[in-house]
Amino acid sequence: MILVTGGAGFIGANFVLDWIANGDEPVVNLDKLTYAGNLHNLDSVQGNPRHIFVQGDIGDTALLERLLAEHQPRAIVNFAAESHVDRSIHGPEDFIQTNVVGTFRLLEAARQYWQALPAIKKEAFRFLHVSTDEVYGTLSATDPAFSEDNRYEPNSPYSASKAASDHLVRAWHHTYGLPVLTTNCSNNYGPLHFPEKLIPLMIVNALAGKNLPVYGDGMQVRDWLYVRDHCSAIRRVLEAGRLGETYNVGGWNEKPNIEIVNTVCALLDELRPRADGQSYKTQIAYVTDRPGHDRRYAIDARKIERELGWKPAETFDTGIRKTVQWYLDNPEWVAQVQSGAYREWVQKQYQAD
């Protein structure tokens, strides 16, 4: 049994689906179901006895103690976080609460649980913390890509809160010996991505005939990784990562945002041409840049390749085509995450608990 937190969100849900599909070990999935958590992401494993969903907060110590005692997981994988940079700029409080205080509470509950385990289980236990490349700050066009030795220089409230959580994880290993692993991954894309993030926003807006808002000059560079490749990296680190180590995870796909938007438009032009025959590119609209917008992130993923033999299975071309196709094939998912009806349904479902 493993305990996953944030498993109704974008990456967490992909991880849970992947986990269930690729083995027989059960998973307890603890998620608060914020606006970013979506139970429909887990429709295909609803009712599967190997998936136990619990609505709750990683900051709720009593709940954590109960879940750990009841399910006796051999590992915790922590995805739960507030994850959207723009939201962190407008309202940083939730980011501090979940990403910093929540991670602290989870670490403390994990430590107490782990310390009380019998020796053999104690040795096998793992706490894997899922983090981001944004903790390293920003790069110039000529800087080498981020390696695990880069200094932490977070620039947004989001990345600062994730950096703080990474430091707590590190300290719980150094001070208490908790068997931790940390992954710092670049931008993910793929199915189940909430349409506030660049790629799904562009797809959804394009199809709805709306503007495609591009920040500043659109030349901010990010590395992109298909979400299922991130999931396979996490599984690999959980299996074989060296305790206390951090592993950078990336797709070797550095691209400026405007190139991403153009690629999405070109795929849509091919797969779902506009009725008037024009390209979706005509909907692109440059908007005022995000304050403090980091210019470039790039990931040097050689350590995880060298030590653990992990490599992404998708190229950007194959991954982005699958992604665009998935959004075209799943309009009801998009409608659900955009509607208030979904949130009301969740409230009703879990009111009794």
Catalytic residue annotation:
133-134, 158
Which residue, among 265, 281, 288, 280, has the nearest Cα to 217 in the 3D structure? 288
77 binds ligand NAD (CB under 6 A): no
Closest separation between CB of residue 188 and ligand NAD, Å? 4
Q: How far is CA 30 from CA 1, 54, 63, 71, 189, in A?
A: 13, 5, 10, 12, 22
**Can residue 198 be called a binding residue for ligand NAD (CB under 6 A)?**
no
Pick the piece of the chain touching ligand NAD (CB under 6 A) from 124-132, 171-179, 209-217, 339-347. 124-132
Q: Which stretch binds ligand NAD (CB under 6 A): 5-13, 149-157, 199-207, 325-333?
A: 5-13
Q: Distance between CA 234 and CA 14 in Å, rounded? A: 12
**CA–CA separation, 283 vs 38, rounded Å?**
29
Residue 235 DSSP class:
H
Give least dist CB 185 to ligand NAD, A.
Answer: 4
Site for ligand NAD in 7-66 (CB under 6 A): 8-12, 30-34, 36-37, 57-59
**In the complex with ligand NAD, which residue's Cβ is closer, 78 or 283?**
78
Query: How distant, in Å, are the alpha carbons of 27, 233, 255 from that of 316?
Result: 30, 17, 10
| Placement of tokens 């797709």 in the chain | 251
Alpha carbons within 13 A on the beta-carbon side of 239? 12
Least distance to ligand NAD, CB of residue 162, Å: 5
Give the CA distances from residue 7 to residues 254, 271, 323, 332, in Å, rounded to whole numbers and listed in that order: 27, 31, 20, 21
What separation in angstroms does the CA of 230 have from each of 170, 188, 305?
21, 7, 13
Q: What is the DSSP string of 194-219?
A: -TTSHHHHHHHHHHTT--EEEETTS-
Quote the CA–CA distance of 249 and 186 in Å, as a whole number: 7
Q: Which is nearer to ligand NAD, 37 or 191 (CB)?
A: 37
31: left (phi over 0), alpha (psi -120 to 50) or beta: beta
Of 33 and 324, nearer to ligand NAD (C-beta) is 33
Residue 190 region, left (φ>0) first, then alpha (ψ -120 to 50), else beta?
left
Identify residues 230-289 at the interface with ligand NAD (CB under 6 A): none
Q: How many CB atoms lie within 10 A of CB 272?
A: 15
Footprint of ligand NAD on 154-183 (CB under 6 A):
162
User: Using the rule CB under 6 A, which residue among 3, 6, 88, 181 binds ligand NAD?
Assistant: 6
* Residue 81 in contact with ligand NAD, rule: CB under 6 A: yes
Which listed residue (102, 137, 179, 251) binds ligand NAD by CB under 6 A?
102
Q: How far is the CB of 35 from ligand NAD (least distance, A)?
A: 8
Name the closest residue to ligand NAD (Cβ).
Answer: 9
* Residue 90 Cβ vs ligand NAD, minimum distance, rounded to whole Å: 15
Give the interface segment with ligand NAD, choosing from 108-116, 126-134, 174-182, 288-296 (CB under 6 A). Answer: 126-134
Nearer of residues 273 and 292 to ligand NAD, judged by Cβ: 292
CB of 230: closest distance to ligand NAD in angstroms? 7
The CB-of-15 to ligand NAD minimum distance in angstroms stands at 9
Nearest CB to ligand NAD, comparing residues 58 and 260: 58
Tokens for 241, please give them: 């990562």
Binding site for ligand NAD (CB under 6 A): 5-6, 8-12, 30-34, 36-37, 57-59, 79-83, 98, 102, 130-132, 162, 185, 187-188, 194
